[in-house]
């Protein structure tokens, strides 16, 4: 027999069969509701209240919610399985993209009118984990608002490999429908949208099968750089290569409109990280499958870029100081906070360069008192485990090994260069942390944090026909390097897993 869920305050209801998870229903209904840890039962932020018939709390809910909340019917959408009719109130909505991750639009935009007529347009960073969406005023050339929403496709896997697999198993159309259900309600008065995403995300949205991205020899069935009219006019950024996507194209465009020339390195540190290296010899790009650790996801206290996320950790006056987004009390780590924490633990000798967390007896009294259950307890909601270190090592190994292959091609393997870091990082990324982790070489020069370059590249194209033309030209000059086919790549990768500075 069907179960009826009434969404309190939304004037909507859903009929479903018993045994379905509430987060699945939210995504299926296209209801704007964030799942900051991708529905993994880690962040405790997908709170809803059952106004009648609350299901029995799961072990995860007992851990992440207070007894009082549980008693008042509060549950986690990703943990609650509906078994009978209920009225459900949503306790959180989409959250604003932290301003720390966006540069002012003025000075970034190429010449020329918008590519299509209208008074408003959307720009979208189609991330594997998060959709970052901005609404643009085309006349004033301004960003009116920028929102972060969970990518509803997370239901089919957390990384591109599992999404490709899910698409090949017959879920392709359902995944695309889930995307539009979340995005279409955001259109309000906009005439078109510019989408910037990695190769898999864009190819999926464009409606192509993903088989050729799943098997060697990998081949991209779609080059991007096209307008689509259904179900809403949207432009898909050109893809740089098979696994170097439209998000990398956005980064290249952003650097160009910022006036960056000469030699340099740019890292886009997302789930699918991208590495760009250029000099007078040319520009090279490679993709580095890093996993979600750089986004502050998939780790024990990761919450991504949301209010209260720790962006930086320091030891101060006999305690720890946490710098957070919006200055709110710390609730978990975003990418830069996670990098900052591991760097601090390396400097303090809590972790050794191989990534091993030291035993209690090897630690100073300060850290010994924070040892708990095989990991560290750093404050309410702020735990850290050996498994977290391993996840950062895998992420860092992917990026460092790509750098070790690309830097010599541009002649930058000994020479200082400017580094541009994009991705889900706050503005507090400290260059010395990246060197301490051995993520980048010691001879790095100036380090510039760009924030969400994928979104800003899409914004530039949405605002300017000149940028739309320019991005195509820039992408056509990039040489994409397939890392796994490089001489001794496996050796370079294994050596890059260590936190040894180089
Ligand atoms: S999304 Fe449910 S706990 Fe994080």
Going from the Cα of 80 to the center of ligand 1, the distance in angstroms, rounded, reads 11
Angle at 21 between CA 18 and CA 25, to 5 degrees: 90
Burial 161-170 (b: 16+ CB within 10 A, else e): eebbebbeee
Going from the Cα of 33 to the center of ligand 1, the distance in angstroms, rounded, reads 11
Residue 119 CB neighbour total at 10 angstroms? 13
Minimum-distance ligand 1 atom for the alpha carbon of 64 = 3
Going from the Cα of 380 to the center of ligand 1, the distance in angstroms, rounded, reads 17
Give the length of the chain.
502
Contacts of 229 (CB under 8 A, 6+ apart): none
Minimum-distance ligand 1 atom for the alpha carbon of 43 = 4
Q: Which residue has the tokens 């050794």?
A: 352
Q: Are 247 and 199 in contact (CB under 8 A)?
A: no
Q: What is the tens place of the pLDDT at every residue in 214-238?
A: 887 788 889 999 999 999 999 999 9
Strands 272-279 and 95-96, by their bridges, are: unpaired
Instruction: For residue 319, give the H/E element and its range.
Output: strand 319-324
Domain ranges in the chain are: 3-93, 96-246+455-477
Q: What is the tens place of the pLDDT at every residue in 169-184?
A: 988 898 898 888 778 8
Minimum-distance ligand 1 atom for the alpha carbon of 41 = 3
Question: Which residues' Cβ are closer than 6 Å to ligand 1?
Answer: 35-37, 39-46, 76, 78
pTM for the model stands at 0.79
**Mean pLDDT for the chain overall:** 88
Going from the Cα of 44 to the center of ligand 1, the distance in angstroms, rounded, reads 5
Separation between Cα atoms, residue 27 and residue 469, nearest integer Å: 35
Burial 3-25 (b: 16+ CB within 10 A, else e): bebbbbeeeeebebeeebbbbbb
Q: What is the tens place of the pLDDT at every residue in 9-52?
A: 666 789 999 999 999 998 888 776 778 777 888 877 788 889 89
% of residues, the chain, pLDDT over 90: 52
Separation between Cα atoms, residue 70 and residue 410, nearest integer Å: 58
Minimum-distance ligand 1 atom for the alpha carbon of 46 = 2
Going from the Cα of 476 to the center of ligand 1, the distance in angstroms, rounded, reads 40
What per-residue confidence (pLDDT) applies to 185?
74
Q: Do domains 3-93 and 96-246+455-477 have the same CATH topology?
A: no
Instruction: For residue 401, give the H/E element and its range.
Output: helix 386-409
What per-residue confidence (pLDDT) applies to 424?
66
CATH number of 96-246+455-477: 3.30.420.480
Minimum-distance ligand 1 atom for the alpha carbon of 39 = 1
Indicate the angle between helix axes 489-496 and 386-409, nearest 10 degrees: 130
The per-residue DSSP string of 174-220 comes to HHHHHHHHHHGGG-TT---EEEEE-HHHHHHHTT---HHHHSSSP--
Minimum-distance ligand 1 atom for the alpha carbon of 77 = 2
Task: Give the right CATH number for 3-93 from 3.10.20.30, 3.30.70.20, 3.30.540.10, 3.40.50.2300.
Answer: 3.10.20.30
Q: E-strand spans in 80-209? A: 81-82, 86-90, 95-96, 120-126, 130-137, 142-150, 193-197
Contacts of 413 (CB under 8 A, 6+ apart): 407
Residue 422 CB neighbour total at 10 angstroms? 30
Q: What is the tens place of the pLDDT at every residue in 355-366?
A: 999 988 899 999
Structure tokens belonging to residue 445: 């020069």
Going from the Cα of 89 to the center of ligand 1, the distance in angstroms, rounded, reads 16
Going from the Cα of 271 to the center of ligand 1, the distance in angstroms, rounded, reads 18
Given ligand 1 and candidates 25, 26, 39, which is best to mutate, with the most ligand atoms within 8 Å of its CB? 39
């Amino acid at each position: 027999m069907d179960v009826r869920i009434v969404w309190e305050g939304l004037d909507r209801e859903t009929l479903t069969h018993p045994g379905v998870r509430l987060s699945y229903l939210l995504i299926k209904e296209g209801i704007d509701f964030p799942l900051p840890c991708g529905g993994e039962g880690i962040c405790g932020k997908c709170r809803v209240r059952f106004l009648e018939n609350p299901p029995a709390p799961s072990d995860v809910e007992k851990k992440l919610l207070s007894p009082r909340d549980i008693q008042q019917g509060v549950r986690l959408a990703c943990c609650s399985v509906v078994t009978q009719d209920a009225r459900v109130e949503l306790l959180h909505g989409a959250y604003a993209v932290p301003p720390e991750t966006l540069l002012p639009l003025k000075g970034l935009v190429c010449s020329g009118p918008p590519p299509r007529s209208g008074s408003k347009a959307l720009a979208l960073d189609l991330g594997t984990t998060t959709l970052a969406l901005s609404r643009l005023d085309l006349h004033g050339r301004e960003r009116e608002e920028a929102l972060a929403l969970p990518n509803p496709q997370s239901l089919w896997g957390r990384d591109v490999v599992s999404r490709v697999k899910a698409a090949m198993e017959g879920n392709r159309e359902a995944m695309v429908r889930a995307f539009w259900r979340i995005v279409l309600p955001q259109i309000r008065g906009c005439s078109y949208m510019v989408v910037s995403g990695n190769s898999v995300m864009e190819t999926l949205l464009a409606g192509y099968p993903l088989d050729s991205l799943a098997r060697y020899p990998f081949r991209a069935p779609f080059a991007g750089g096209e307008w689509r009219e259904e179900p809403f006019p949207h432009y898909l950024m050109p893809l740089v290569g098979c696994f170097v996507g439209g998000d990398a194209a956005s980064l290249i465009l952003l650097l160009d409109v910022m006036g960056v020339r000469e030699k340099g390195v740019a890292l886009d540190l997302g789930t699918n990280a991208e590495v760009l290296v250029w000099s007078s010899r040319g520009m090279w790009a490679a993709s580095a499958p890093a996993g979600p650790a750089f986004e502050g996801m998939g780790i024990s206290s990761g919450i991504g870029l949301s209010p209260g996320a720790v962006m930086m950790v320091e030891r101060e006056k006999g305690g720890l100081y946490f710098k957070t987004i919006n200055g709110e009390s710390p609730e978990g780590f975003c990418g830069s906070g996670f990098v900052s924490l591991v760097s601090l633990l390396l400097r303090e000798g809590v972790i050794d360069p191989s990534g091993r967390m030291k035993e209690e007896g090897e630690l100073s009294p300060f850290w010994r008192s924070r040892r708990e259950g095989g990991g560290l307890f750093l404050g309410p909601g702020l735990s850290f485990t050996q498994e977290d270190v391993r996840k950062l090592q895998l992420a860092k190994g992917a990026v460092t090994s790509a750098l070790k292959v690309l830097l010599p091609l541009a002649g930058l393997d000994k020479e200082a260069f400017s580094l541009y870091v994009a991705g889900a990082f706050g503005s507090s990324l400290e260059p010395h942390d990246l060197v301490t982790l051995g993520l980048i070489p010691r001879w790095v020069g100036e380090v510039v944090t760009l924030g969400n370059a994928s979104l800003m590249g899409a914004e530039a194209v949405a605002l300017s026909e000149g940028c739309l033309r320019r991005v195509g030209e820039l992408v056509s000059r990039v040489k994409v390097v397939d890392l796994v086919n490089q001489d001794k790549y496996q050796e370079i990768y294994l050596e890059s897993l260590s936190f040894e500075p180089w």
